[in-house]
Amino acid sequence: MSTERLFSVRNRWFTVSVGLTLGVAAAAILIGFVWLPSAQKDPQFAGIWNAICSAAGVPQKWLISTPETSRIKTSDVVLTPTTLANADSLSIGRGATLSLRCTMCHGPQGLSQANSPNLAGQYASVIYKQLKDFQSGARTNAVMGPMVSTLSDQDMRDLAAYYAYLPRLTGYHPGAQAAPDIVAVGAPMRNIAPCASCHGAADHKLGAPWLEGEPATYIRAQLQAFAKGERHNDTSAQMRNIARQMTPDEIEAAARYYSMQQP
């Protein structure tokens, strides 16, 4: 039997074998690409086209990559060494008038009796940034949010100038004590810089507040908020990265130490 006659349609065995092969292939395609996927309850298999695409591993729609946007609102305030550096008496006077709305929490002279931060003598750039962050939503607080909602940029500059102008008032301080390790040297093995490297004593970082004499309750609450990510208006997540690495005892030690220091 010649090769030509073997693969001829006239050869009954050849015709039957080819027909069976095609039939099995068609059945396998229908079962694997249509019936089995459509039997699934997953929405991605709904419809024949979706079922075929899913079975073949082909995306139904080509994804268009879009940049991921963070849901966390962060601060967009840019501070420079000259930010609010030279406030005039007119600005300070306007700030004094505006501050009347702040006295209930921050005291009539910037010294809090309600575990709110003391503002008298605080750096103007620090106060300005926090007010801007409260207004933008980068920092949230049920009281401060509504309070700053109607302030103009000039209002915030005037308030910052006024509080920076006030002398740092002296509260009750039981006496000097040695700075705890977390304040003096930090924890280098955990990438924690000493608190004093940014918040005074050893050095001062632009935008970092001085903490001496601030209520322990307030300092503790802010460190805990940074650690949990509830507060996120720190530039480049500096405070969040530090607070997450601090132990509860270190947070308590830092809060108590600064609260008992002379402003």
User: Which domains can be identified in the chain, with CATH numbers?
Assistant: 12-56 (no CATH), 76-168 (1.10.760.10), 169-262 (1.10.760.10)
Higher confidence at residue 135 or residue 60? 135
Residue with tokens 């729609």: 61
What spatial distance separates the first Cα and last Cα of the chain, rounded to whole Å?
110
CA-based nearest residue to 216, from 242, 260, 165, 255: 255
Helix pair 238-245, 216-228: axis angle to 10 deg? 100
What pLDDT does 225 receive? 98
What average pLDDT does range 189-196 have in this prediction? Answer: 94
What pLDDT does 31 receive? 72
Tell me how far apart the alpha carbons of residues 45 and 58 are, in angstroms, rounded to a whole number. 12
Q: Please, are residues 214 and 121 in contact by the beta-carbon 8 Å criterion? A: no
What pLDDT does 208 receive? 94
Tell me how far apart the alpha carbons of residues 247 and 182 are, in angstroms, rounded to a whole number. 10
Higher confidence at residue 42 or residue 80? 80
Q: Please, are residues 234 and 139 in contact by the beta-carbon 8 Å criterion? A: no
The three-class DSSP label of residue 200 is strand
Higher confidence at residue 8 or residue 167? 167
Say if residue 55's pLDDT is above 80. Answer: no
Tell me how far apart the alpha carbons of residues 177 and 194 are, in angstroms, rounded to a whole number. 17
Q: Please, are residues 183 and 196 in contact by the beta-carbon 8 Å criterion? A: yes
Say if residue 110's pLDDT is above 60. Answer: yes
What pLDDT does 104 receive? 95
Tell me how far apart the alpha carbons of residues 135 and 34 are, in angstroms, rounded to a whole number. 56
Q: Please, are residues 184 and 194 in contact by the beta-carbon 8 Å criterion? A: yes
